[in-house]
Amino acid sequence: MVRKAFKRKKTAPSKLDTFIKRYNIPREYLSVNRKMITRGLAVGIFFGFIPMPFQMLAVLAITPLLKFNVPIAITMVWLSNPFTMPFMYYMEYTTGAFLLDMDPLNVELSIHWFKQNLGLIFIPLYFGTAVYAIGFSLIVYFGVDWLWIHSVKQEKQAKDNQRRT
């Protein structure tokens, strides 16, 4: 069950509680409820797909505008890491070139090639990025939201069935 994975019992003030009090961090940025988790996942995946430096800072910059679970959003940004970035960005570029009906270039992994062809790959790359960033963040948002609601209903139904017997 999705919801149970985030539940835990509080017995005494933890180090996290003292950290929150000391730096006056709003608790809602660490809330573990359906809306905050799904928003955090969506925001993190959205920024994780965008080829830009300082993705985690971009997540923190929009925190006052949207309320979401910040640690989960930052963790989701890490899906694009130095090992996955070349594959993700190549996939985004080829998808963008296909959707814009452009012939994709033969990509070489060198700084010289990127400097020469940045103007040619920029629009298809970011068009494909928009498709994947918006698409995957919406799929994850609504998918996890549905799973959360479904797991709560199943848990409630199991408790009702247990009471009847």
Q: How far apart are CA 98 and CA 37, in angstroms?
A: 34
What is the pLDDT at residue 92? 92
Tokens of 114: 């990127």
For residue 163, give the amino acid letter.
R
Domain ranges in the chain are 2-164
Cβ atoms of 108 and 13 within 8 Å: the answer is no
End-to-end Cα, the chain, rounded Å: 23
For residue 41 the two structure tokens come to 């996942």
Please compute the mean of the pLDDT values over residues 79-90 and round it to a whole number.
87
pLDDT average, residue stretch 151-163: 87
CB 85, CB 57: distance < 8 Å: no
Q: Which structure tokens are listed for 115?
A: 């400097």
DSSP result, 53-64: S-HHHHHHHTTT
**C-alpha 153 chain-centroid distance:** 25
What pLDDT does 10 receive?
55
Which of the 8 DSSP states describes residue 111?
Answer: H
Tens digits of residue pLDDT in 93-143: 999 999 999 888 888 878 888 888 888 888 999 999 999 999 999 999 999
Neighbouring C-beta atoms of residue 38, cutoff 10 Å: 23
CA dihedral sign, ordered 66, 70, 74, 75 = negative
Residues in the chain: 165
Q: What is the pLDDT of residue 127?
A: 94
pLDDT at position 59:
92
pLDDT category, 147, cuts 50, 70, 90?
very high
Q: What is the pLDDT of residue 126?
A: 92
**Alpha-carbon distances, residue 105 vs 46, 62, 133 (angstroms):** 26, 35, 22
- pLDDT, one tens digit per residue, over 16-71 is 677 777 767 777 777 778 888 999 999 999 999 998 889 899 998 998 888 898 88
Q: What's the pLDDT score for residue 3?
A: 56
Half-sphere exposure of 111 (CA within 13 A, CB side): 0
